[in-house]
Amino acid sequence: MERYFLGIDIGTFESRGMLIDEQFRIRADACVPHTMENPRPGWFEQDAETVWWGDFCKLSRMLLAQSGIAPQQIACIGASALGTDCLPVDEACRPLRPAILYGIDARAAKEAEWLTQYYGPARVEELFGHPICSGDTATKILWLKRNEPEVYAKTHKFLTGSSFLTARLTGEYVIDQFLAKGSFRPLYLPDGSIRAEECGLFCRPDQLAVCAGSTEVVGRVTQTAAAQTGLAAGTPVITGTGDSTAEAISVGLVEPGTAFFQYGSSMFYYYCVDRYVDHYVSPNGNGALKGGKVFTVPGTFCMGDGTNAAGTLTRWVRDVLYAPELAAEKNGGPNAYAIMAQEAAEVPPGCDGLLMLPYIYGERSPLQDSRATGMLFGLKGTHGRREINRAALEAVGYSTYQHLLLFAEMGLAPKRIITAGGGTKNRVWMQIICDMAGMPITIPESDQCSAYGDAMLAAIGGGALAGFPALRQALPQGTVLQPDMKNHAFYAKRYEVFRDLYLENRKHMYELG
């Protein structure tokens, strides 16, 4: 009987699932859309029952129907979800409130400020590895403790998205070591055990999931989960991981010196290195980067963080300036984003003197400034939507370049750059990124996504792949873009204006905010 491997990813606006065979070919592929709630400024939530688990159940049944295979032929299951979220659940693993999403949710700013004062800078660096920010899940747990005590009192476990899915499938509460040791600081020790002495401020040690490797089989599908998903009871399930990690693995981030930039709703990066690095602050005003942590790939370390806007910035441009095209698309017309890409290609680099700051939702990496705001600078009467459209693409490009400059300052200039995510469909945007980077970038096949990475991780867990080197060899080669070095020189000089616009105007941003 031929075996198959199931991967399902829950993203910010869409969930996707894939079934792959023992030759790692895709045999079924399905997507379902969903929404993200923004109940207050700086708050971002999702209904874990309806969206996360609901989408998982829909996709598993859709994939089985599409492929025509028997549930018993699935040898192993892997799941991922968006970043590191905070979801309180009761003893039956039922959500007690909507999930508080990853670093894009900045509601715990006061808690982060209080913790910084409580610990002091030196202890913060020791415990968190970086200045406390919106991406730290412990701050969200503290927010719940302070602001929703009735929910906090009923909480059996504080979970992230992938932990919730695995728990609903198996009844086991586990978390990928990479997520635990990164975004759940200071609640886990370097060896993956729970740091009980630091839990007191946040929660009880028993309210946290147990740390495990992402490809480790941690349980099997229960009878209840089988009835809801259509899967066979007893099917092995791995720990799973975050969506960005799954996508990074799917495109080949398994070797030191490889940088991966994911252009989805936000821009998220992972940089695989061969040693541990501390939190770094640029002496040149280029921002700061979080320190590294043990990566999902054994024997490696990884730096990682994300911006607050990438696809959400282009989506804003589309909704505000391309409403007629969006309406036409809904009635069967051309894709609005395709029209935007075509118009952006008609505008030369620099957008005729127009420059945008992309901080419309504040900023995480490399500013770690939730009060930063966006900006259009150099606006002239001759500018139209085409220039604003391209300026948004360049703004995300400058942010990418800013990260590369920080890597270089640390003596860790990448040898290889891989990009992925929905933004890679816009080749004009990716060429801007390539030109700014000044080095080739690899764009994987469109099917190399988080769900594909989940299925490949399940293939390791199920024994079809010997490990990550074998996974790397099994992946498609993708497309390689080459940089225009003349454009690179132009962007490198213009970057200083991009950097200084934030540094010289943040005081006014705060005043207006």
Instruction: Verify that 259 and 238 share a domain, yes or no.
Output: no
Query: What percent of the chain stands above pLDDT 70?
Result: 100
- Say which CATH number the domain at 318 has: 3.30.420.40
Residues 234, 265 within the same domain: no
Q: Write the pLDDT tens digit of every residue in 269-285.
A: 999 999 989 889 999 99
367 plus 219 within the same structural domain? no
Mean pLDDT (whole number) for 453-464: 97
Structural domain count, the chain: 2
Query: Residue 205: its pLDDT value, please?
Result: 97
For residue 501, the SS3 value is helix
Judge if 103 and 118 occupy the same domain: yes
Note down the domain range covering 160: 4-246
The DSSP line for 268-309 is EEEEEESS----EE-TTS--EEPPPEE-SSTT-EEEEEE-S-
What is the number of residues in the chain? 513
Rounded to whole angstroms, how far apart are CA atoms 43 and 402?
A: 27
CA distance 273 to 292: 8
Q: Where are the beta strands (DSSP E) in 82-213?
A: 87-89, 99-100, 157-159, 174-176, 210-212
Both 104 and 211 in one domain: the answer is yes
Mean pLDDT across 426-450: 95
C-beta of residue 104 within 8 angstroms of C-beta of residue 134:
yes
Q: What angle do CA 310, 296, 7 make, to 5 degrees?
A: 70
Residue 161 and residue 15 in one domain = yes
Neighbours of 463 (CB within 10 A): 12
Query: How far is Cα 270 from Cα 245, in angstroms, rounded to an integer?
Result: 8
| Together in a domain, 283 and 222 | no
Convert the pLDDT of each residue in 360-379 to its tens digit. Answer: 999 999 999 999 999 999 99
Residue 373 has what pLDDT?
Answer: 97
Looking at the fold, whether 208 and 307 belong to one and the same domain comes out as no
With the CA atoms of 473, 422, 61 and 66 taken in that order, what torsion angle do they form, in degrees rounded to the nearest 10? -70
- Which residues lie closer than 8 Å to 57 by C-beta, 6 or more apart? 228, 229, 230
Give mean pLDDT, residues 424-452: 95
* Higher per-residue pLDDT: 292 or 333: 333
Q: Is a pLDDT exceeding 90 seen at residue 290?
A: no
Burial grade of 472 (CB within 10 A; 0-12, 13-18, 19 or more): middle
Say what the pLDDT of residue 295 is.
Answer: 87
Of the residues 205, 230, 246, the one at which a domain ends: 246
Asked, for residue 30, whether it belongs to a domain, the answer is yes
pLDDT at 299 over 90: no
Instruction: Report yes or no on 224 lying in a domain.
Output: yes
- pLDDT band at residue 244 using 50, 70 and 90 as cut-offs: confident
Nearest to 455 by CA among 121, 77, 124, 162: 77
Q: Are residues 194 and 272 in the same domain?
A: no
Residue 334 lies in a domain: yes
User: Do residue 233 and residue 261 come from a single domain?
Assistant: no
Whether residue 458 is contained in a domain is answered as: no
* Residue 490 clears pLDDT 90, i.e. is over it: yes
pLDDT 10s digits, 74-91: 999 999 998 789 999 999
Helices 385-409 and 336-345, interaxial angle, to 10°?
Answer: 80
Dump pLDDT digits (tens) for 303-350.
989 999 999 999 999 999 999 999 999 999 999 999 999 999 999 999
Establish if 476 belongs to a structural domain.
no
| Average pLDDT score over residue span 103-118 | 94
Q: Do 180 and 284 belong to one domain?
A: no
195-235 per-position pLDDT tens digit: 999 999 999 999 999 999 999 999 999 999 999 999 999 99
pLDDT in tens, 382-422: 999 999 999 999 999 999 999 999 999 999 999 999 998 88
234 within some domain? yes
pLDDT band (50, 70, 90) for residue 460: very high
Q: CB-side exposure of 405: number of CA atoms within 13 Å?
A: 22
Q: Are residues 152 and 121 in the same domain?
A: yes
The whole-number average pLDDT for the span 472-487 is: 94
Q: What is the mean pLDDT of the chain?
A: 95
The reply to whether 159 falls in a domain is yes
Q: What is the pLDDT of residues 133-154, one digit of tens each?
A: 888 999 999 999 999 999 999 9
Could you say which of 246, 265, 297 is where a domain stops? 246
DSSP-based three-state secondary structure for 4: strand
Q: pTM for this structure? A: 0.79
Domain edge (last residue) among 222, 246, 270: 246
Average of pLDDT values for 178-207?
92
